[in-house]
Amino acid sequence: MRIGIDIRSIGKRGTGDEVYTTQLIRNLARSGEEHMFVLFTDDEEIPTYELIQHLPANMQVVVIPPAHRAVWMFVRLPRYARAYNLDLLHVQYITPLYIRDMTLITTIHDVSWKVLPASVPFKDRLLLNMCMPKSVRSADHVLTVSHHSKEQIERLYPASHGKVTTIYNGGYIDPADRSLAADIDPVSNRAKTYLSYCGRTRRS
Q: Domains in the chain, start-ordered, CATH in brackets?
A: 2-189 (3.40.50.2000)
pLDDT above 80: residue 136:
yes
Residues 6+ apart with CB under 8 A from 24: 5
Position with higher pLDDT, 194 vs 62: 62
| Strand (E) or helix (H) holding 76 | none
Contact criterion met (CB below 8 Å) for 86 and 2: yes
Provide the mean pLDDT of the chain.
Answer: 89
CA 170: distance to chain centroid? 13
**pTM confidence score:** 0.84
pLDDT tier at 189 (50, 70, 90 boundaries)?
low
What's the Cα-to-Cα distance from 173 to each of 32, 131, 163, 168, 170, rounded to whole Å?
20, 35, 30, 15, 9
Closest to 89 (Cα-Cα) out of 20, 167, 18, 3: 3
Is the pLDDT at 193 greater than 70? The verdict is: no
Which residue did the predictor score with more confidence, 151 or 69? 151
DSSP state of 29: T
pLDDT for the residue 204: 47
The average pLDDT across 144-151 equals: 97
Residue 19 host element (H or E): helix 16-28
**Exposed, middle or buried: residue 51 (CB in 10 Å: 0-12, 13-18, 19+)?**
middle
| pLDDT value at residue 20 | 92
Is pLDDT above 80 for 39?
A: yes
157-168 average pLDDT score:
97
